[in-house]
Structure 1
Amino acid sequence: MRNRRTAAVLALAAGLAAAAGSAPAQAAPEPRSHLDLTVERGDAGARSSTTLDCHPAGGSHPSADQACAALERAGGDFDQLGQTRHQQVCTMQYDPVRLSAAGTWEGKPVEWAMTFGNPCEAKGATDGVFPV
């Protein structure tokens, strides 16, 4: 009787282990917002890119939490960035910077680009979303 009980327990344990092993591993959920941000400086064409993930914040962006918070305040609308901050004082130096964003914000496609007179203007107008 004892051998039958032991065999039954071992069979049940093996079945549970097999079932657990066959269940697909749950991958981390993809961020609801993923953006590729590009900064092009001056006429020389110096270019840098970074990624920004939000919900949760991450990617290669050096200040992802702050950038995601700024986009949240703007409702994901890049044209609304910088509207809630105080006016930033910048020099009149002309050193053009072209910023662009492509990807998704809360599942909706994003394509945005704008050129600013200098890095200071670009940073103020985009609430620091772009690492200028």
Structure 2
Amino acid sequence: MSLHPHAYVLAIHDLAATVDYFVEILGFAKDWNDEDRWQSVVRDGVRIDLGRCPDALPAAALGDHNYFGFFATDDVDGLHAQFVARGALVLRAPEDKPWGWREMPVATPEGHRMMFAQAIPAR
């Protein structure tokens, strides 16, 4: 038996603004939706289901526990340039980490954080 990633699910307050951020700034595309309650967005093999939950604890209030995803890419520096040009909430420029990844944390306007990273080739 094996598991494969299908989707990350985020509780958000402002569905329209969050969808716009994922589509216009981070380069995702809209997929299925359920009127004003749910919107799924996709980019490459990553799917994020955004659910409007006006009474949920804000992600920004979770501190270090508001990371929800680690996304591998083959060009984190190119992705950084793309995100900066579009106005993404890039928390730090890509930097090499001792565990073998070049990482760039990015936030959403509501405070969810995700890590975009590129494996550092072995020397």
Same fold (TM over 0.5): no
More strand by share: 2
TM-score, L = length of structure 1 = 0.28
The structure with the largest helix share of the pair is: 1
Q: Which has the larger radius of gyration?
A: 1
**If the length of structure 2 is used for normalisation, what is the TM-score?**
0.29
